[in-house]
Structure 1
Amino acid sequence: MASDSPVYLLLGATGGIGSEVAHRLADDGAQLVLGARSEDDLDDLAAATGGDAMPLDATEFEQVQAAVSHATDTYGGLDGVVNFVGSVLLKPAHLTSIDEYRTQIEKNLDTAFNTVKAAGRPMMRSGGSIVLMASAVSRTGLKNHEAIAAAKGGVTGLMRAAAATYSGRGIRVNAVAPGLIGGGENFASQMSEQILSSEAGRKQSEKMHALGRVGTPEDVAPAVTWLLDPETDWVTGQVIGVDGGLGTVRPG
């Protein structure tokens, strides 16, 4: 049955940014399909937003494909998909194990590729928007970020290639590149906990951002919803930095 409301699939939906985006889209009347590993958090978010809960591991293509199929079979189409899944590792390359490196690639780059691969074919019917999560660390060199910078740099390259591939079918592919995100007991703060757990770490992180603070999910969510909006149908292949200046500006 076709939905009169826009239909969006959010992967990693229970994280800080994902949850904030889910609430904003639901408030605007969107129909949501929500994917995440944590079933309890997922059920709570689905109940709060009226979305469909799809417990899944986004590193497994077949599970992402199943979520896409659920959206298209249940609501007759898919207007947009966002991959919020990710992880952070802060280690120099010589101290990073191969397993740690592969985990960064798997959680950040593989999940992004699975998103594009699963959504591309059904979205070719009527177009739409795919949003991936890049990072400020893929835009500028920061020490001890080799593994995550490699993974997020791959996301940026994937995004631009997919934007070119699918542009003729009306599919826009873009990425949002946050800086360090904290705030609350959520996925975003869990990823940055090792940095922000100490006062010294927080102060140093704040100094690295030109605007003098780390970000919050509420800072990033508007960029994601803007890229999903059909009114931004002339924007594709772009990395939107929402990073307090971390990726491009050095504080004076």
Structure 2
Amino acid sequence: MSISDSIGQSLGYVVLGATGAVGSEISQRLARAGHRVMLGGRDQQRLDDLSSELDAPRSCVEAENPDSIDHCLEQAANEFGRLDGVVNCIGSVLLKPAHLTSDEEWSQTLSVNLTTAFSTVRSAARVMRKAGGSVVLISSAAARIGIANHEAIAAAKAGVIGLTLSASATYASRGIRVNAVAPGLIKSRITRHLWESEAAESTSISMHALDRLGEPADVASLIEWLLKPENNWITGQILGVDGGLAAVIPRTRQKSS
């Protein structure tokens, strides 16, 4: 099926990390648009609940097990008869200076944030190499600007940027587009320690020029746009959705300098 034929049709997508804040939001958006969505996640209860809500198939995915990502994408392709796009929302947050970060924490941060992204690209290339499609990865504003105590997560997310650029070149001839979004601080369960208290929220907001923290919908809307086949001339891009965090100095900081 050509790009023009696929526009407006029901497409097949995989969302990895579907039970997280951004993952569940993009899953809901795709399902509401009439697309078929395979939900990949490790929290079985949340996965079951979302699957029931969206009437969508599900697959257990473990970040430490690349084979589970392979299985999820292959299952989707077999069930849908095609696979048009994959988004990897699997991730974690570790805020520690390098000298306080253990080897285990470093390895886990790389595994959850970078290795899963690599496994996603590898699996997607195998499944989509004949018909093409869209792969969307998640980087971070922290990989584009220096923020204290982000060494491990910034390194992992910077790796996602390098992966995106190289993979987009490798698979362009196959019609596989690879892009990444680089969020600022998004309100979610895994970031709640950065915004739950009034003081923490105020400090975090002050770093973003648009004077608010991000919501899952802010990121999901951009991911949905990148997945659409009509945007098929976009690849190798790292798109910030960060309230200006990585590029704009807030006026409050300008006044104080």
TM-score by length of 1: 0.94
Q: Secondary structure at the match of 1:59?
A: coil
Secondary structure at the aligned position of 1:13 is classed as coil
Pairs within 5 Å for 1:98-247:
98-182=103-187, 189-247=188-246
Question: Residues of 2 paired with 1:174 and 1:49: CA distance?
Answer: 26
Kept in 1: contact 2:63–2:111 (CA 8 A) = no
Q: C-alpha displacement at 1:46, in angstroms?
A: 1.1
Cα shift readout 1:77-136 (whole Å, capped 9, x = no counterpart): 110000000001111111111111111101000110110111101201101000000000
| Other structure's SS at 2:206 match | helix
Question: Gapped runs of 5+ residues in structure 1?
Answer: 183-188
Q: Which residue of 2 aligns with 1:8?
A: 13
3-state SS of paired residue (1:208):
coil
The one-letter amino acid paired with 2:41 is A
Q: What is the DSSP-based 3-state SS (H/G/I as helix, E as strand, rest coil) of the residue aligned with 1:191?
A: coil
- SS at the partner of 1:190? coil
8 Å contact 1:212–1:244 — kept in the other structure? yes
Q: In the alignment, residue 245 of structure 1 is paired with which amino acid?
A: G
Aligned equivalent of 1:39, options 29, 36, 44: 44
Question: Counterparts in 2 of 1:47-126, with a 5 A limit?
Answer: 47-126=52-131
SS in 2 for 1:54: strand
Partner of 2:33: 28
Displacement after TM superposition at 1:59 (Å): 2.8
Percent identity over the alignment?
A: 51
**Which residue identity does 2:22 align to in structure 1?**
I
Taking structure 2 as the reference length, what is the TM-score of the superposition? Answer: 0.93
Matched position secondary structure for 1:14: coil
Mapped partners of 1:58, 1:146: distance in 2 = 21
Give, in whole Å, the separation in 2 of the partners of 1:50 and 1:235. Answer: 31
1:90 aligns to what SS in structure 2? Answer: coil
| Residue type at the aligned position of 1:223 | L
Inter-partner Cα distance in structure 1 for 2:47 and 2:86: 17
1:241 counterpart SS class: strand
1:183-236 deviations in whole A, cap 9, x for unaligned?
Answer: xxxxxx222122123221110000000001111001111100000000110000
Unaligned runs of 5+ in 2: 1-5, 252-257
Partners of 2:105 and 2:71 lie apart in 1 by: 28
Shift of the alpha carbon at 1:146?
Answer: 0.3
Number of matched pairs: 244
CA distance in 1, matches of 2:176, 2:109: 27
Tell me which amino acid in the other structure corresponds to 1:19.
S
User: Residue 91 of structure 1: SS of its match in structure 2?
Assistant: coil
Moved over 3 A (4+): none
In structure 2, the residue matched to 1:186 is: none
Distance in 1 separating the partners of 2:249 and 2:95? 21
Match of 1:249, as an amino acid? V
Rounded to whole Å, the distance in 2 between the matches of 1:122 and 1:24 is: 23
Q: CA offset at residue 149 of structure 1?
A: 0.2
- Counterpart residue type for residue 218 of structure 1: A
Letter in 1 for 2:117: A
What CA deviation, in whole Å up to 9, does each residue of 1:26-67 have, x standing for no partner? 011100100001111111111111210112203311100111
Distance in 2 between the 1:102 and 1:193 partners? 23
Structure 2 letter corresponding to 1:97: S
Write the distance in 1 (CA, Å) between the matches of 2:137 and 2:194.
23
